[in-house]
Amino acid sequence: MTRVALAFSGGLDTTVCVPLLEEEYGYDDVIGVTVDVGQPAEEFDEAEETAEALGLDHYVVDARAEFAQLCLESVRANATYQGYPLGTALARPVIAEAILEVAEEQDCTGIAHGCTGKGNDQLRFEAVWRSSDLEVIAPVRELGLTREWEKEYAAEKDLPVEGGSGGDWSIDTNIWSRSVEGDDLEDPNYVPSTEIYAWTEDPSDETEEIEITFENGYPVAVDGQEYEPVALIEHLNELAGSYGVGRTDMMEDRMLGLKVRENYEHPGATTLLAAHEALEGLVLTQEERQFKQQIDQQWSQKGYEGLIDAPLVSALESFIDETQQRVTGTVTIRFEGGQARPVARDSTFAAYSAEHASFDTETVGKIKQEDATGVAKYHGFQRRLANEAIAANADDETVELATDGSGTGDDQ
């Protein structure tokens, strides 16, 4: 008997994949695997009900702790892509690994997803799965299915598919972010209503300050109360979201070259990234901060591509680990106007001296202010030489122009 494991959400795409894997691909048995990375409870209820109606063996894997830990690793790397925190991208390899484990445990010969051929997720899933010996199947992509065709097919087969806005918008939720796309949102000129938001309230005049504690670059406490990673992220999602923090409406460049309109909510992630960067600004040297921007950008790119296990990432994390040993301390964040703004930071590793930086002190340690005179004289010296040479050559060209008979001034 041939068996295939399907990444199963209970939504339209994965629901129609079940009979297609049997009819078009000849599999005798399809099992569904749903991986918990922080989705709402109703999504698991829907997946379970749909699987039962389809007669599908259904497995649920709890990967929240593993995913939350990866999210905090992304904080140490200040990981964003084109300005928004990585959420869906980081979740996909975690989900793919969990599904692969179930597929191998259940003696599957194939593994499948319901991604289209236009998005990023097909690449992220398959980057993990193609390291195995299982046949990788993508019915929606390989059969060229559209959303309208799937709806008609589901109606024809009497498949248990829910309607409503969830059928129009494509919504992906995990503990780090919530994304909404599709339908009217595909029009860049369409102004969405607040109906699309679930995690964030509209910003108000109310403000609140909280203190976040970091140890070795990892956030560990809020206002002195320690949290495990999952609970920490969920707490900040609720708190920051109530102040309207973490909304992104953007045109995103996907890996395949398509530009798409995306809407995201990420209140906890926005808060932690802002706090972490503020603390790095206090403890890291100028050279470390400049070089780490390159490291962080490369880490973020690999995270976006779903290649977080690449050898390059391990090498990048060696540098990140070294710098994060001093990223220990506290940051005060003020929620106001839909922003999470760092307003104070403190660390015993601070590469800073208030006495040295103050305008009220005459010296910087043993260095006197007049010692900077020589530096000031040299500063810009090469620029001055270059500008003098440019000006001198410009004058020579003017003289040559006047003496070769070509005319100057009003004659030109």
**What is the set of active-site residues?**
13, 92, 121, 170
Q: Is 170 annotated as a binding residue?
A: yes
Taking CA atoms, 127 is separated from 94, 278, 399, in Å, by: 12, 34, 67
Which H helix or E strand runs over 40?
none
Q: Is 179 annotated as a binding residue?
A: yes
Q: Is 132 annotated as a binding residue?
A: no
Q: Is 282 annotated as a binding residue?
A: no
**169: its two tokens:** 């918008």
Q: Is 9 annotated as a binding residue?
A: yes
d(CA 112, CA 9): 12
d(CA 210, CA 79): 22
Q: Is 14 annotated as a binding residue?
A: yes
d(CA 285, CA 352): 9
Can you tell me whether residue 178 is helix, strand or coil? strand
Q: Is 116 annotated as a binding residue?
A: yes
Nearest to 240 by CA among 336, 344, 342, 331: 336
301 exposure class (CB count in 10 Å sphere: 0-12, 13-18, 19+): middle
Q: Is 281 annotated as a binding residue?
A: no
Q: Is 400 annotated as a binding residue?
A: no
**105: its two tokens:** 């445990």
286-305 vs 267-283: helix crossing angle, rounded to 10: 150
Q: Is 189 annotated as a binding residue?
A: no
Nearest to 38 by CA among 204, 271, 235: 235
d(CA 76, CA 326): 12
Q: Is 7 annotated as a binding residue?
A: yes
Q: Is 252 annotated as a binding residue?
A: yes
d(CA 174, CA 237): 11
**318: its two tokens:** 């060696």
Contact, 254 vs 260, CB < 8 A? yes
Q: Is 279 annotated as a binding residue?
A: no
Q: Write down how long the chain is.
A: 412
d(CA 86, CA 80): 6
Contact, 102 vs 5, CB < 8 A? yes
Q: Is 11 annotated as a binding residue?
A: yes
Q: Is 193 annotated as a binding residue?
A: no
Cβ neighbors of 158 (< 8 A, separation 6 or more) are: none
Q: Is 284 annotated as a binding residue?
A: no
Q: Is 120 annotated as a binding residue?
A: yes
Q: Is 50 annotated as a binding residue?
A: no
Which H helix or E strand runs over 406?
none
Q: What are phi and psi of 329, to 5 degrees?
A: 160, -160
**77: its two tokens:** 């790397």
Q: Is 8 annotated as a binding residue?
A: yes
Positions at the binding site for L-aspartate: 116, 120-121
Residue numbers in the known binding site for ATP are 7-15, 114
Could you list the residues known to form a binding site, using ranges.
7-15, 84, 114, 116, 120-121, 124, 170, 179, 252, 264
| Known binding-site positions for L-citrulline | 84, 120, 124, 170, 179, 252, 264
